[in-house]
Amino acid sequence: MPKLPKLSFPKHRISAPELGVVAALALVLIFIMPLVLPGFRLDLLHRYLALAIVALGIDLIWGFTGLLSLGHGIFFALGGYAIAMHIKLQVPAGAASPLPDFMTLYGVTELPWFWYPFYSFAFAAVAVVLIPALLGAILGYLVFRNRIRGVYFSILTQAAIIVFFNFFNGQQKLFNGTNGLTDFQTLLGVPVRDAQTQYWFYVLTVIFLALAYLLCRWLTMGRFGRLLVAIRDDEARVRFSGYNPTSYKVLVFAISAALAGIGGAFFTLRTGIISPRAMDIAFSIEMVIWVAVGGRASLIGAILGALLVNFARSLLSEQFADIWLFFQGALFLIVVLALPTGIVGWLRTESHLFLARLLGRPQPLATYPELELDPEIQYERDVLKQEGKHPS
């Protein structure tokens, strides 16, 4: 029996040009945008870049894995509360009480035990990532081990966010209830609201957004990424192939929750407040809309959707204060009906057909070009060629 030639599949790694583009865009955001945009617009860009980190996590679980979460506001808020609790413990010297100001208003005389670790900035920084990730892993394990998916999974995430919203909303003595944590003063000895401090928060937001993109890009490449897509398209076949979809879904859900926590922390540092309103169901649904508008299973689409939808909402509310919600609803309907794959999906698959129609050129026939690009098909073709059994 002839020995098969040694052929290898293409390595799945982020290319140098792609890394260069990501770095170039990050440098433009860091150095050019502050010079071009006025302070108010730069403030909005800072907020929306933080939300784009959350959108990447949503796209990772929904676009690639098929898990539609309508409760990601939980993880977003937990990340915000983690960093806010540390800041609230930085009581100025000479203050009447070492406790956060809102606790003295409610008659609290001793700091709750779970607040003590947040005196440490290192602990708070780790908690921003770890607490949402652990909660996501626990919640995901309890749900996925019972093979709950589809609309039932979405309903469970909505139920979870209602529970957390009511808990934080009713804890005046622990988290200031519906008012949330606000009036931030200092972080690591520097004033939080200072313009220079906010600029460095902006720089860190851009850096973490770039790192989050590269992480999601790396995860969705190669075998792991193909498994996520396979779970999305046919989970039963994945299970019959010898893989355990539960472990993959728990892992990707925990990573998505961690990204939401990071986004929530940077958003809180910019806005100066975190409250149970971040756990509102409507806000979690908005996160899904960002990804739908930009394009599912497209990391660039998730970022683009978060920026476009939020900037459009800001501009429409400025120009049409009374009726801007109607414009926003019409925008979503147009995208869903005319661009079901989102903006990036349309650009990838249908924009060339649209241009061909405009130019009056003949339409291409429906075929399967993916087969020509499939590495396994190419591998078999190369083997047959080297054995002399392929006609070409």
Residue-wise pLDDT for 341-378, tens only, equals: 888 887 887 766 667 677 777 666 555 555 556 667 67
Q: For position 348, what pLDDT does the model report?
A: 80
Tokens (6 digits) for 174: 């622990």
Q: For position 332, what pLDDT does the model report?
A: 75
> Comparing 75-89, 233-247, 370-384, which segment has the lowest mean pLDDT?
370-384
Q: For position 7, what pLDDT does the model report?
A: 39
What is the mean predicted confidence (pLDDT) over 223-248?
Answer: 92
Gyration radius from the chain CA atoms: 24
> Comparing 127-131, 170-174, 227-231, 387-391, which segment has the lowest mean pLDDT?
387-391
Q: How confident is the model at residue 87 (pLDDT cuts 50, 70, 90)?
A: very high
Amino acid in position 247: S
Tokens (6 digits) for 156: 């469970």
More confident residue, 109 or 77: 77
User: Which runs of consecutive H residues, i.e. helices, occur in the chain?
Assistant: 16-27, 33-36, 39-58, 73-88, 101-105, 121-144, 151-169, 172-175, 195-219, 222-240, 245-271, 281-294, 299-319, 324-338, 342-349, 351-359, 370-373, 375-387
Domain ranges of the chain: 20-283
Q: How confident is the model at residue 173 (pLDDT cuts 50, 70, 90)?
A: very high
Q: How confident is the model at residue 202 (pLDDT cuts 50, 70, 90)?
A: very high
More confident residue, 347 or 192: 192
Do residues 79 and 260 lie in contact, with contact meaning Cβ atoms separated by under 8 Å? yes
190 three-class SS: strand
Q: How confident is the model at residue 16 (pLDDT cuts 50, 70, 90)?
A: confident
More confident residue, 221 or 251: 251
Q: For position 347, what pLDDT does the model report?
A: 82
187 three-class SS: strand
Q: For position 15, what pLDDT does the model report?
A: 84
pLDDT at 1 over 60: no
Which range among 226-240, 314-328, 346-360 has the greatest average pLDDT? Answer: 226-240
Portion of the chain with pLDDT greater than 90, in percent: 63
Amino acid in position 260: A
